[in-house]
Structure 1
Amino acid sequence: MRDLSPGDFQAVCNQIASAVSNASQVFPPSAPQYTSDNQHEFFSATQASACSVEPGSAEDVSVITRTPFAVKGGGHTGNPGFSSTPGVQIAMTRFNAVNVNTDAGTVEVGPGLTWDNVYEQLSAFNLTVAGGRIPGVGVGGLLLGGGYSYIANQYGLGIDNVVAYDLVLPNGTFTTVTADNDDLWFGLRGIVTKFTLKSFPQGEVWGGIVTWGTDQLEASKNAIAKFANVTDPKAAILSTFAYISGDVLTTTSVFYDGPVPPPGIFDDFINIPAIQRDLSTRSFPDLVKSQVSTTIPSDVRGLYCAFGPTEYSTSFINDSVNEVIFWGRNLTQLDPKVQILAGIEPFTSGLLSHGTPSAYPPDRSQIYFPSGIALTWSNSSLDQIMAQSIRQAADDLQAAALREGQNVTNAVVYPNYSLFDTPLEAMYGDNVDRLRSLKQVIDPGNVMNLSGGFRF
């Protein structure tokens, strides 16, 4: 089925258009909706599909998934072909409802939304959920990959806070998956049309963005290493060291779940001279909106690659910065538009204590921080070189963690940051055999192999 010609694909698009209900719509390449349905954060992850489909019901989803297809929510993956296809692009745009059940303490969320959309709607109820930390991240991709959030220290990962999934199974049938469905709950496989999540009271928070220049590089490294030892579960940061045009910029997203942080926790972020500093008491949606200061141009190519340290010591952070500088200097000789960054994301020791066994993380007794390298460039002829370089950079940092005595021989990396060549065992550990067995039971016809993603 993967060898269909463009003409065959067009015939399939016509068949889908005649088979779906009025709740759904098929768009040809000339339609404006086609462009948005196919668009991803990185241009290199976008493909020209034969048509795009915006299903409006679970029943119509089952009609579409009988030909090579891809499912796109927020389009935030960097891996080519994971949520794009030359076949039929399914855009979950019309699954965009947010329904609050105050009696049950839950919220129903559609996979066509991004987290900033969700937070904005929940703010009217003074509620939040465990979701993404920056604008533009899709609901479905983050949750199905694990899901780290600003409130993860307090409540666990995104998947730990799912109450139910409404799911279209590979055979086209529909089901609601709860913890009673042991295997499906453990290793979800199919297309989710609704997530039911635990909700939490949410008042004002404190935080925003701080950006330091190269002149404050040593101070910024020390500040981030110092914060990595903070044990207050309401406090969180997400830091990046980025090589851009010869400079190293340190950008930190700062969060405290309360209107005023306790004295001392964020002193360095307040006091070190900064290029940009936007820290204040604000609503949760406003804080999330503040987390991106620039828009990625529509023609930028890019990839992510994960590594998994167990601690952010001063020496490891220094290794991370040196890695960014090394690759930045070398790769900009090939493409002056190259930018590369390393992410530092500390969490407290109780992070994984809130959930039950799940495919990821395979071992809840040991935290491997969800760390990653991001690389962007403009020259498409360099795609293979850039993929090899970002893989080497992540491997170098994993080796650096091992050299300093971290227990990372069998480190687990975060699926949502993982490069397309990442072995399944590196993300799911000893759970891979169970996941493969489940795949044989749930999808014996290999329907999901018609779409992109990691293969079981």
Structure 2
Amino acid sequence: MISSTQNATCSVEPGTTEDLGVILRILGYTRTSFAVKGGGHASNQGFSSTKGVQIAMYRFPEVTYDARTKTVTIGTGLIWDEVYAALEPYNVNVVGGRVTGVGVASFTLGGGYSWKTNQYGLTLLVDTVQAFELVLPNGTVTTVTATSNTDSFFGLKGGFNNFVEQGVVTTFVLKTVPQTQVWGGLITYTTSMLPPARFRTGQPGVSALIFYDAPTPLTKKTSPLARSYLLFSRPLPTKLLDYAVYLIPCLLRVTQWTHWNLSLTKLYALQYYGQSMAQKSAVLISYSVEPLLPSLFSHNTIPTAYPPIRSKGLLPLNLYFAWTDPLSDDAFQKAIGNSTVILKARAVANGQDIANAAVYGNYATIHTLVDDIYKGNLPRLRSIKAVYDPDNVMGLTGGYKF
């Protein structure tokens, strides 16, 4: 990740909420720049990285399952791999990340597209998040729920970077769901099998990730998916954790951008950027379409910071560029930005009503305007920040600012 090349002056690992409160008060008093790191998978510099003081949340590793309430309390220093492993003995899971190495904190606070989103919605939208433990910039520790503090709960659900601008979240209480074994893997279509795969260069092909975890086993008699050839070490029912670990890309420098559903069959963006960026150390140019049901935003009616509009279920298109040469950072950032402008213009020209669609913050580049993420919710978010952070301590961090 680009952010991993930004070195902090020092790093501190609080072990308690009281420790964290003291740290925030000192940083606010001295007006020292800082960043908060959970899993550290954010690609944008200044989000979980800093040249100042980095607060690393590794000493908040709690995973406590309550069988009576069917909830789990998890610390913000975890990655989803650790959560899945801890819940596996109970045959339950949460609406969480899809690949290994993804941090619990920003994933949940930014939105949370999961393998289970079609069934349950985004992590922050559904009843998945029952409560937050929050350390305010003045050091006060508080628990936030939908009934205890409506405004704070609204802002935490989608407030995103720096564990939101109200302070630092230390734990979540999440609702669990049943978890069976998973059937799935990677299907790759070559140019001889699928003409549009000619978009790709280097290793021609279009890939599809398949995920199935219904209680009824998938068989060749009941579904064509089971008859597909999967590039998977064991195309048999497996654990969700094993499936997630299998999907991790090992790359040095990456950046992402979000967009909306758009047919790429007549767009040669992949071919153009694959060829033009190959000389700049590109190792992967990927445009990933995420097929989700139109109902993905309708699983809960409790107001949330993101998405600002729920009447339309947007299907994010994740642009994923990876390269090795740090001297090419600016070129790739510019390329991915230009590509999104072209794709959006083409989508609008094709009749898609996305001219004013909100951008998904977890996929957006650092140059994204905060207005494009939160739209009409921005005034309320700014007023909430003014109440909980009147001295603008969280303004000493990077990322999107209310």
Fold shared per TM-score above 0.5:
yes
**For the residues of structure 2 that align with 1:275 and 1:136, how far apart are their CA atoms?**
21
The AA in structure 2 aligned to 1:131 is G
**For the residues of structure 2 that align with 1:370 and 1:422, how far apart are their CA atoms?**
15
Deviation at 1:262, TM superposition (A): 7.2
Deviation at 1:185, TM superposition (A): 0.7
| 1:416/1:397 CA distance change after superposition, 3 Å | same
For the 8 Å contact 2:110–2:361, the answer to whether it is kept is yes
For the 8 Å contact 1:210–1:278, the answer to whether it is kept is no
Indicate the residue corresponding to 1:64 in structure 2.
Answer: 23
| 1:279/1:425 CA distance change after superposition, 3 Å | farther
Deviation at 1:411, TM superposition (A): 1.3
Which of 169, 182, 187 is the aligned partner of 2:150?
Answer: 182
| 1:281/1:359 CA distance change after superposition, 3 Å | same
| Segment drifting more, 101-110 vs 382-391 | 382-391
The AA in structure 2 aligned to 1:289 is V
The question of 1:426 aligning with 2:372 is answered: yes
**For the residues of structure 1 that align with 2:226 and 2:291, how far apart are their CA atoms?**
15
Tell me the SS of whatever aligns to 1:280: coil
| 1:220/1:444 CA distance change after superposition, 3 Å | same
Indicate the residue corresponding to 2:217 in structure 1.
Answer: 260
**For the residues of structure 1 that align with 2:282 and 2:102, how far apart are their CA atoms?**
24
| 1:277/1:250 CA distance change after superposition, 3 Å | farther
The AA in structure 2 aligned to 1:47 is Q
Indicate the residue corresponding to 2:52 in structure 1.
Answer: 87
Which of 295, 310, 335 is the aligned partner of 2:250?
Answer: 295
The AA in structure 1 aligned to 2:378 is V
**For the residues of structure 1 that align with 2:98 and 2:48, how far apart are their CA atoms?**
21
| 1:115/1:140 CA distance change after superposition, 3 Å | same
**For the residues of structure 1 that align with 2:307 and 2:72, how far apart are their CA atoms?**
24
| 1:275/1:261 CA distance change after superposition, 3 Å | closer
For the 8 Å contact 1:58–1:174, the answer to whether it is kept is yes
Deviation at 1:139, TM superposition (A): 0.2
Indicate the residue corresponding to 2:12 in structure 1.
Answer: 53
Q: How many residues align?
A: 382
Percent identity (aligned):
41
Deviation at 1:252, TM superposition (A): 2.4
Which of 403, 412, 415 is the aligned partner of 2:361?
Answer: 415
For the 8 Å contact 1:210–1:279, the answer to whether it is kept is no
For the 8 Å contact 1:145–1:415, the answer to whether it is kept is yes
The question of 1:308 aligning with 2:260 is answered: yes
The question of 1:402 aligning with 2:348 is answered: yes
For the 8 Å contact 1:167–1:174, the answer to whether it is kept is yes
Which of 334, 339, 342 is the aligned partner of 2:284?
Answer: 339
**For the residues of structure 2 that align with 1:404 and 1:268, how far apart are their CA atoms?**
31
The AA in structure 2 aligned to 1:256 is Y
**For the residues of structure 2 that align with 1:43 and 1:409, how far apart are their CA atoms?**
29
The question of 1:443 aligning with 2:389 is answered: yes
Give TM-score scaled by structure 1 length.
Answer: 0.79
Deviation at 1:349, TM superposition (A): 2.1
The AA in structure 1 aligned to 2:359 is V
For the 8 Å contact 2:321–2:336, the answer to whether it is kept is yes
Instruction: Describe the superposition over 1:266-309 as per-residue Cα deviations: whole angstroms up to 9, x where unpaired.
Output: 626843x67667532112222222222x422xxx2221111123
Give TM-score scaled by structure 2 length.
Answer: 0.89
The AA in structure 1 aligned to 2:18 is E
Which of 341, 346, 349 is the aligned partner of 2:294?
Answer: 349
**For the residues of structure 2 that align with 1:260 and 1:219, how far apart are their CA atoms?**
32
Which of 46, 55, 62 is the aligned partner of 1:97?
Answer: 62
Indicate the residue corresponding to 1:113 in structure 2.
Answer: 78
Deviation at 1:107, TM superposition (A): 0.4
The question of 1:76 aligning with 2:20 is answered: no
If asked which structure has higher relative contact order (CA below 8 Å, sep 6+), I would say 2
**For the residues of structure 2 that align with 1:319 and 1:142, how far apart are their CA atoms?**
32
For the 8 Å contact 1:212–1:274, the answer to whether it is kept is no
| 1:318/1:177 CA distance change after superposition, 3 Å | same
**For the residues of structure 2 that align with 1:213 and 1:59, how far apart are their CA atoms?**
56
For the 8 Å contact 2:219–2:226, the answer to whether it is kept is no
For the 8 Å contact 1:94–1:112, the answer to whether it is kept is yes
Instruction: Describe the superposition over 1:152-182 as per-residue Cα deviations: whole angstroms up to 9, x where unpaired.
Output: 1211211121000000112221110100211
Deviation at 1:73, TM superposition (A): 1.2
Instruction: Describe the superposition over 1:15-43 as per-residue Cα deviations: whole angstroms up to 9, x where unpaired.
Output: xxxxxxxxxxxxxxxxxxxxxxxxxxx14
> Structure 1: any 5+ residue segments left out of the alignment?
1-41, 222-240
For the 8 Å contact 2:185–2:230, the answer to whether it is kept is no
**1:234-383 matched pairs, under 5 angstroms:** 243=200, 246-258=202-214, 260-261=217-218, 267=224, 270-271=227-228, 278-292=234-248, 294-296=249-251, 300-309=252-261, 316-319=263-266, 322-333=268-279, 335-355=280-300, 356-383=302-329
Deviation at 1:338, TM superposition (A): 4.1
For the 8 Å contact 1:131–1:149, the answer to whether it is kept is yes
Indicate the residue corresponding to 1:232 in structure 2.
Answer: none
**For the residues of structure 1 that align with 2:211 and 2:68, how far apart are their CA atoms?**
29
| Segment drifting more, 148-157 vs 278-287 | 278-287
> Structure 2: any 5+ residue segments left out of the alignment?
157-165
Indicate the residue corresponding to 1:172 in structure 2.
Answer: 139
For the 8 Å contact 2:136–2:168, the answer to whether it is kept is yes
| 1:53/1:270 CA distance change after superposition, 3 Å | farther
